[in-house]
Structure 1
Amino acid sequence: VEWAEDNSYRPFCSKRCQLIDLGAWASERNKIAGSSLFDSEEDLGEITKH
């Protein structure tokens, strides 16, 4: 796949690759390394995990 400015799926090569990446983040297979911003689930307040 050629990298082009007019590629609507940038930085991905296709819609399929875009959805695969989104799925990995949504299922938490991809994570950003580091410690949590919250010490416990009680600190989450009104934020809930779905």
Structure 2
Amino acid sequence: MSTDNHSPTMVACPTCGGPSVFAPSNKFRPFCSQRCRQIDLGAWANEEFRVPAQTPPEDAPFGDPKTEP
């Protein structure tokens, strides 16, 4: 029994959630189109993708706490 599957792998577009062909034939992969790719690039340029972090208190000392006395 052969497991050759000739249908392309489909994934959800990270921008719109629509179907996107994940294959070398899709030059915008993993996005479904140039429009979705540009929307994502614009979000990166506007710094909309951030890792949440706690803001230190304003009176916190600067420097490495491991080396401070």
TM-score range, shorter chain: 0.5 to 0.7
Which residue number corresponds to residue 22 of structure 1? 41
- Structure 1: gaps (5+ residues): 40-50
8 Å CA contact retained: 2:20, 2:29 = no
Higher helix share: 1
RMSD: 2.1
Q: Following TM superposition, by how much is the alpha carbon of 1:3 offset from its aligned partner in structure 2, in angstroms?
A: 1.3
TM-score normalized by structure 1? 0.56
State the percentage of identical aligned residues. Answer: 46
- Structure 2: gaps (5+ residues): 1-18, 54-61, 63-69
Q: 2:27 corresponds to which letter in structure 1? A: S
Q: Name the larger-Rg structure.
A: 2
Higher strand share: 2
8 Å CA contact retained: 2:20, 2:31 = no
Whole-angstrom distance in 2 between the partners of 1:30 and 1:13: 20
Kindly indicate whether structure 1 or structure 2 has the higher relative contact order, using CA contacts under 8 Å at least 6 residues apart: 2
Whole-angstrom distance in 1 between the partners of 2:31 and 2:43: 14
